[in-house]
Amino acid sequence: MDPSSTLVFLDLAWGGSTRGRVHIRLSPNTPAAKQFRLLCTGHTGVSYRNTQLHYVWDKGEPGECVEGGDYEGKGGAGGAGIIDLRGGEYRKSGKAGAVWCWCQWGWGCDAAVAAQFTITTRDCQGGSVFRNVFGEVVSGLEVVRAAANHSDITQVTVVDCGVVLNQ
Protein backbone atom coordinates (compact mmCIF):
# COMPACT_ATOMS: atom_id res chain seq x y z
CA MET A 1 0.00 0.00 0.00
CA ASP A 2 1.34 3.43 -0.91
CA PRO A 3 2.56 5.19 2.29
CA SER A 4 1.38 8.54 0.87
CA SER A 5 -2.23 7.36 0.87
CA THR A 6 -4.82 8.50 3.40
CA LEU A 7 -5.00 6.97 6.88
CA VAL A 8 -8.50 6.86 8.39
CA PHE A 9 -9.90 5.43 11.60
CA LEU A 10 -13.03 3.73 12.88
CA ASP A 11 -13.71 3.54 16.64
CA LEU A 12 -15.79 0.44 17.39
CA ALA A 13 -17.96 -0.02 20.49
CA TRP A 14 -20.30 -2.63 21.94
CA GLY A 15 -21.62 -3.49 25.36
CA GLY A 16 -21.65 0.17 26.36
CA SER A 17 -17.95 0.93 25.83
CA THR A 18 -15.50 1.73 23.06
CA ARG A 19 -13.40 -1.37 22.36
CA GLY A 20 -10.73 0.13 20.16
CA ARG A 21 -9.61 2.07 17.14
CA VAL A 22 -9.06 0.56 13.71
CA HIS A 23 -6.62 2.36 11.39
CA ILE A 24 -7.10 1.80 7.67
CA ARG A 25 -4.69 2.91 4.96
CA LEU A 26 -6.67 3.76 1.83
CA SER A 27 -5.48 3.23 -1.72
CA PRO A 28 -4.68 6.58 -3.32
CA ASN A 29 -6.19 5.70 -6.70
CA THR A 30 -9.68 4.24 -6.26
CA PRO A 31 -13.06 5.93 -6.13
CA ALA A 32 -14.15 3.59 -3.31
CA ALA A 33 -11.24 4.83 -1.15
CA LYS A 34 -12.26 8.43 -1.84
CA GLN A 35 -15.86 7.63 -0.91
CA PHE A 36 -14.73 5.85 2.28
CA ARG A 37 -12.65 8.90 3.28
CA LEU A 38 -15.60 11.23 2.64
CA LEU A 39 -17.88 9.02 4.74
CA CYS A 40 -15.30 8.93 7.56
CA THR A 41 -15.14 12.73 7.64
CA GLY A 42 -18.83 13.41 7.06
CA HIS A 43 -17.79 16.13 4.61
CA THR A 44 -20.77 15.47 2.33
CA GLY A 45 -23.31 15.49 5.17
CA VAL A 46 -23.49 11.71 5.73
CA SER A 47 -21.09 9.62 7.74
CA TYR A 48 -20.28 6.17 9.06
CA ARG A 49 -20.44 7.66 12.57
CA ASN A 50 -23.13 5.97 14.70
CA THR A 51 -23.71 3.17 12.20
CA GLN A 52 -23.65 -0.51 13.07
CA LEU A 53 -21.83 -3.42 11.57
CA HIS A 54 -24.57 -5.59 10.16
CA TYR A 55 -23.21 -8.94 9.03
CA VAL A 56 -20.42 -11.47 9.54
CA TRP A 57 -19.62 -13.61 6.51
CA ASP A 58 -18.16 -17.11 7.05
CA LYS A 59 -17.97 -16.69 10.83
CA GLY A 60 -15.10 -18.68 12.29
CA GLU A 61 -13.93 -19.85 8.85
CA PRO A 62 -11.12 -18.82 6.49
CA GLY A 63 -12.12 -15.65 4.67
CA GLU A 64 -14.30 -14.43 7.57
CA CYS A 65 -15.24 -10.77 7.16
CA VAL A 66 -17.52 -8.16 8.68
CA GLU A 67 -19.76 -5.80 6.76
CA GLY A 68 -20.91 -2.30 7.63
CA GLY A 69 -21.54 1.09 6.10
CA ASP A 70 -25.34 1.33 5.97
CA TYR A 71 -25.52 4.98 7.03
CA GLU A 72 -29.20 5.16 5.99
CA GLY A 73 -31.06 2.21 7.46
CA LYS A 74 -28.33 0.68 9.59
CA GLY A 75 -29.54 -2.85 8.78
CA GLY A 76 -27.69 -3.64 5.58
CA ALA A 77 -30.26 -2.57 2.99
CA GLY A 78 -29.03 1.02 2.60
CA GLY A 79 -25.87 3.03 2.33
CA ALA A 80 -26.20 4.50 -1.14
CA GLY A 81 -23.01 5.45 -2.90
CA ILE A 82 -22.13 9.12 -2.84
CA ILE A 83 -19.77 9.02 -5.83
CA ASP A 84 -19.36 6.87 -8.93
CA LEU A 85 -17.12 3.89 -8.10
CA ARG A 86 -16.13 3.11 -11.69
CA GLY A 87 -12.49 3.26 -12.63
CA GLY A 88 -9.42 3.24 -10.44
CA GLU A 89 -6.91 0.53 -9.71
CA TYR A 90 -8.61 -1.89 -7.34
CA ARG A 91 -6.52 -4.74 -5.96
CA LYS A 92 -7.37 -8.33 -5.14
CA SER A 93 -6.47 -9.82 -1.76
CA GLY A 94 -7.22 -12.86 0.34
CA LYS A 95 -5.40 -11.51 3.40
CA ALA A 96 -6.88 -10.57 6.74
CA GLY A 97 -7.17 -6.79 7.00
CA ALA A 98 -8.23 -6.22 3.39
CA VAL A 99 -10.93 -3.55 3.14
CA TRP A 100 -13.13 -3.92 0.09
CA CYS A 101 -16.52 -3.25 -1.42
CA TRP A 102 -18.97 -5.49 -3.21
CA CYS A 103 -19.67 -2.76 -5.70
CA GLN A 104 -17.85 -1.79 -8.80
CA TRP A 105 -20.17 -0.90 -11.63
CA GLY A 106 -20.14 -3.34 -14.49
CA TRP A 107 -20.71 -6.50 -12.47
CA GLY A 108 -24.10 -6.03 -10.89
CA CYS A 109 -23.62 -3.49 -8.12
CA ASP A 110 -26.74 -2.19 -6.41
CA ALA A 111 -26.29 1.59 -6.06
CA ALA A 112 -28.48 1.50 -2.92
CA VAL A 113 -25.65 -0.21 -0.99
CA ALA A 114 -22.57 1.14 -2.78
CA ALA A 115 -21.19 2.84 0.36
CA GLN A 116 -21.07 -0.40 2.33
CA PHE A 117 -17.65 -1.83 3.14
CA THR A 118 -16.25 -5.18 4.18
CA ILE A 119 -13.18 -5.94 6.32
CA THR A 120 -11.62 -9.40 6.08
CA THR A 121 -10.72 -10.75 9.53
CA ARG A 122 -9.16 -14.12 8.55
CA ASP A 123 -6.94 -15.02 5.61
CA CYS A 124 -8.63 -16.89 2.77
CA GLN A 125 -7.37 -20.31 1.78
CA GLY A 126 -6.87 -22.12 -1.48
CA GLY A 127 -6.06 -19.03 -3.51
CA SER A 128 -9.41 -17.34 -2.88
CA VAL A 129 -9.34 -13.55 -3.07
CA PHE A 130 -11.71 -10.62 -2.74
CA ARG A 131 -11.99 -8.12 -5.56
CA ASN A 132 -12.35 -4.37 -5.24
CA VAL A 133 -9.88 -3.98 -2.38
CA PHE A 134 -9.36 -0.29 -1.65
CA GLY A 135 -7.71 -0.32 1.77
CA GLU A 136 -5.86 -2.27 4.40
CA VAL A 137 -6.14 -2.38 8.18
CA VAL A 138 -2.74 -1.30 9.50
CA SER A 139 -3.64 -1.50 13.20
CA GLY A 140 -6.65 -2.62 15.20
CA LEU A 141 -7.44 -5.81 13.31
CA GLU A 142 -7.84 -7.51 16.70
CA VAL A 143 -10.71 -5.09 17.42
CA VAL A 144 -12.47 -6.09 14.20
CA ARG A 145 -11.91 -9.78 15.00
CA ALA A 146 -13.40 -9.28 18.48
CA ALA A 147 -16.40 -7.54 16.88
CA ALA A 148 -16.86 -10.51 14.53
CA ASN A 149 -16.92 -12.79 17.57
CA HIS A 150 -19.46 -10.67 19.45
CA SER A 151 -22.71 -12.56 19.92
CA ASP A 152 -24.70 -10.00 17.89
CA ILE A 153 -22.74 -8.08 15.25
CA THR A 154 -25.57 -5.52 14.95
CA GLN A 155 -24.69 -4.31 18.46
CA VAL A 156 -21.25 -3.20 17.22
CA THR A 157 -21.27 0.53 16.48
CA VAL A 158 -18.85 2.85 14.70
CA VAL A 159 -18.94 5.50 17.43
CA ASP A 160 -16.43 7.77 15.71
CA CYS A 161 -14.47 7.94 12.48
CA GLY A 162 -12.25 10.36 10.64
CA VAL A 163 -8.91 11.03 8.96
CA VAL A 164 -5.61 10.78 10.84
CA LEU A 165 -3.81 14.05 10.18
CA ASN A 166 -0.38 13.21 11.61
CA GLN A 167 0.67 10.08 9.80
User: pLDDT tens across 25-74, in order?
Assistant: 999 989 999 999 999 999 999 999 999 999 999 999 999 999 999 999 87
Overall pTM surpassing 0.85 (yes/no): yes
- Domains defined for the chain, CATH in brackets: 7-163 (2.40.100.10)
Measured in whole angstroms, how far is the alpha carbon of residue 92 from the centre of its chain? 15
Neighbours of 15 (CB within 10 A): 9
List, in sequence order, every beta strand (DSSP E) within the chain. Answer: 7-14, 17-26, 51-52, 55-57, 65-68, 91-93, 98-100, 117-120, 130-139, 157-163
Contact 70, 41 (CB under 8 A): no
The predicted-structure confidence for 69-112, as pLDDT tens digits, reads as follows: 999 987 888 899 999 887 888 899 999 999 999 775 444 567 78
